[in-house]
Amino acid sequence: MTHKKKWLLFAPAGLVVVGFGTCLVQWAASKKERGAPTGEWVAAGTLALGVLNTGLSLLGRGIVENVLYEVREKETESPDFDYSNVARF
């Protein structure tokens, strides 16, 4: 699978899962507000945070794949680098 395909898969999937995770966090908070047993809303909140973190991980992976795609694309566009414009330290 190419970096572009991975980027186009992971980034939107991450956004969808982040949105779902935030909805689940709100659902767990509403359980607490309604006075549900502690174990019930704690389990729901834990699940919600797990889903939210999964979404953030997928989104981060999509960003990594995007950077790798752009780096590889620039390498193929201009393999000759002009070192005369690089600042000397």
Domain membership of residue 12 (yes or no) is yes
For the full predicted model, state whether its pTM sits above 0.85: no
Domain membership of residue 27 (yes or no) is yes
CA 21/CA 6 separation, integer angstroms: 22
CA 88/CA 19 separation, integer angstroms: 46
Tens-place pLDDT, residues 32-74: 999 999 999 999 999 999 999 999 999 999 999 999 999 888 7
Domain membership of residue 80 (yes or no) is no
Q: What's the confidence (pLDDT) of residue 72?
A: 87
Higher-pLDDT residue of 78, 18: 18
Higher-pLDDT residue of 87, 22: 22
Q: What does the block give as tokens for 1?
A: 């699978």
Nearest to 53 by CA among 30, 20, 28: 20
Provide the 8-state DSSP code for 21: H
Domain membership of residue 85 (yes or no) is no
Domain membership of residue 16 (yes or no) is yes
Task: Please determine, for residue 89, whether its predicted confidence score (pLDDT) is greater than 90.
Answer: no
| Structural domain count, the chain | 1
Q: What's the confidence (pLDDT) of residue 81?
A: 65
Query: CA separation (Å) from 84 to 76, 78, 81?
Result: 20, 15, 9
Q: What's the confidence (pLDDT) of residue 78?
A: 61
Higher-pLDDT residue of 15, 85: 15
Nearest to 55 by CA among 25, 86, 32, 87: 25
